[in-house]
Structure 1
Amino acid sequence: MDHMIFEVGTALLLVSAASLLAGKLKFSIIPFLIVLGMIVGPHAPVFGIFDFTFIESQDVISFLGRIGVLFLLFYIGLEFSVSKLVKSGRSIVFGGTVYVLLNFVIGMIYGFLVQFPLYETLIIAGMLSVSSTAIVAKVLVDLRRTGNSETELILGMILFDDLFLAVFLSVMSGLLLGGATSIGGILLSVAMSMGYMLLFFIIARKGTPVLNKLLNISSNEIFIIVMFSLLFFIAGFSETLHVAEAIGALLFGLALSETEHSKRIEHLVVPFRDFFGAVFFFSFGLSIDPLSLGDAAWMAIGAVALTILANMIAGMIAGRNAGLSHKASTNIGLTVMARGEFTIIVANLGISAGLMPLLKPFSALYVLILAIIGPLLAKESKHIYAGLNKIFKWSKPKEKQQAKQNSVEL
Structure 2
Amino acid sequence: MLSQTLILEVGIAVFLVTVVGLLANKLKFSVIPFFIIIGMVLGAENAPKIGHIDLSFEESKPFIEFMGRLGVLFLLFYLGLEFSVGRLIKSGKSIVSGGLVYVCLNFVSGLLIGWLMDLPFKEMMVLCGIMTSSSTAIVAKVLTDLKRTANPETEVIMGMIMFDDLFIAMHISFLSGLILTGSSSVWTVLGTSLLALGFILTFIIVGRKLVPSIDKLLQDTTSEIFILITISLLFVIAGFSETIHVAEAIGALLAGLVLADSKYIKKIEGMVLPFKDFFGAMFFFSFGLSIDMYSLGGAIGWATLAAVITIICNLASGYFAAKFAGMKPRAAFDIGFTLSARGEFSIIMANIGKAGKLLPVIQSFVVVYVLILSIVSPLLTKESRRIWNGLFGEEKAPVKKKKTLSDLELQAKND
TM-score using structure 1 length? 0.94
Whether the 8 Å CA contact 2:42–2:56 is kept in 1: the answer is: yes
Residue in structure 1 matched with residue 25 of structure 2 by the alignment: 23
Matching of residue 143 in structure 1 with residue 146 in structure 2: yes
In structure 2, distance between residues paired with 1:397 and 1:26: 29
Partner of 1:166: 169
Q: Compute the displacement of 1:397 (Å).
A: 4.7
Report which of the two structures shows the higher radius of gyration computed on alpha carbons: 2
Deviations 1:87-132 (A, max 9, x none): 1142332011111111011111221121001111111111111111
Report what 1:103 is aligned to.
Answer: 106
TM-superposed deviation, 1:212: 2.2
The equivalent of 2:368 in structure 1 is 365
Q: What's the offset of the Cα at 1:324?
A: 0.5
2:182 is matched with: 179
Residue 217 of structure 1: how far off its partner (Å): 4.5
Deviation at 1:215, TM superposition (A): 2.9
The 1-side partners of 2:262 and 2:78 are apart by 14
Q: State the AA in 2 paired with 1:257.
A: A
Instruction: Give the deviation of 1:387 after TM superposition.
Output: 2.9
Q: How far is 1:144 from its partner?
A: 0.9
Unaligned runs of 5+ in 1: 391-395
Q: Which residue of 2 aligns with 1:376?
A: 379
Matched length: 400
* Cα RMSD after superposing both structures: 1.8
Instruction: Specify the alignment match of 2:260 in structure 1.
Output: 257
Q: Give 3-state SS (helix, strand or coil) of 2:377's partner.
A: helix
Residue 339 of structure 1 aligns to a residue whose secondary structure is: coil
SS at match of 1:212: helix
Match for residue 284 of structure 1? 287
- 2:9 corresponds in structure 1 to 7
* CA distance in structure 1 between the partners assigned to 2:131 and 2:80 by the alignment: 21
- Which of 294, 316, 326 aligns to 1:313? It is 316
Structure-1 separation of matches of 2:28 and 2:14: 21
1:55-204 equivalences in 2 (<5 Å): 55-204=58-207
Tell me, in whole angstroms, the C-alpha distance in 2 between the residues paired with 1:333 and 1:191.
Answer: 33
Counterpart amino acid of 1:128? M
> Residue deviations 1:247-282, cap 9 Å, x none?
111111112111112221111000000000000100
Deviation at 1:4, TM superposition (A): 1.8
- Residue 279 of structure 2 corresponds to residue 297 of structure 1: no
Cα drift, residue 306 of structure 1: 0.7
Q: Is the 1:42–1:55 contact (alpha carbons within 8 Å) kept by the matching residues of 2?
A: no
Q: For the Cα contact (< 8 Å) 1:319–1:326, is it kept in 2?
A: yes
* Contact 1:200 1:254 (C-alpha < 8 Å) held by counterparts: no
Residue matched to 2:325 = 322
Distance change (3 Å), C-alpha of 1:217 and 1:123: farther
The one-letter code of the counterpart of 2:367 is A
Equivalence map 1:191-270=2 (5 Å)? 191-270=194-273
Report the Cα offset of residue 50 of structure 1.
3.6
How much does 1:388 deviate? Answer: 3.2
Secondary structure at 1:326 match in 2? coil
Report the alpha carbon displacement of residue 161 of structure 1 after superposing the two structures with TM: 1.3
| Partner AA of 1:39 in structure 2 | V
Q: Would the alpha carbon gap of residues 91 and 240 (structure 1) be closer, same or farther in structure 2, given more than 3 Å must change? A: closer
**Is the 8 Å Cα contact of residues 204 and 258 (structure 1) preserved in structure 2?**
no
CA contact (8 A) 1:177 1:243 kept: no
Whole-Å separation in 1 of the counterparts to 2:209 and 2:178: 29
Task: Give, as a single letter, the amino acid of the residue that structure 1 aligns with 2:176.
Answer: S
One-letter amino acid of the counterpart of residue 80, structure 2: G
In structure 1, distance between residues paired with 2:308 and 2:76: 28
Residue in structure 2 matched with residue 398 of structure 1 by the alignment? 396
Give ranges in structure 2 of 5+ residues lacking alignment.
Answer: 403-415
Q: Aligned partners of 1:235 and 1:208: how far apart in 2?
A: 17
Q: Distance in 1 between matches of 2:252 and 2:148?
A: 30
Matches of 2:206 and 2:221 in 1, distance apart?
A: 23
Q: Aligned pair in 2 of structure 1 residues 397, 87: CA closer, same or farther (>3 Å)?
A: closer
1:4-62 per-residue CA deviation (whole Å, 9 max, x = no partner) reads: 22111111110111111111112211000000001112411223244211111110111
**Secondary structure of the equivalent of 2:118?**
coil
- TM-score (normalizing by structure 2): 0.92
Q: Any conservation in 2 of the 1:204–1:257 contact (CA below 8 Å)?
A: no
In structure 2, what is the Cα distance between the partners aligned to 1:160 and 1:330?
Answer: 19
The answer to which of 145-154 and 181-190 deviates more is: 181-190
Give the distance between the partners of 2:208 and 2:6, measured in 1 at CA. 46
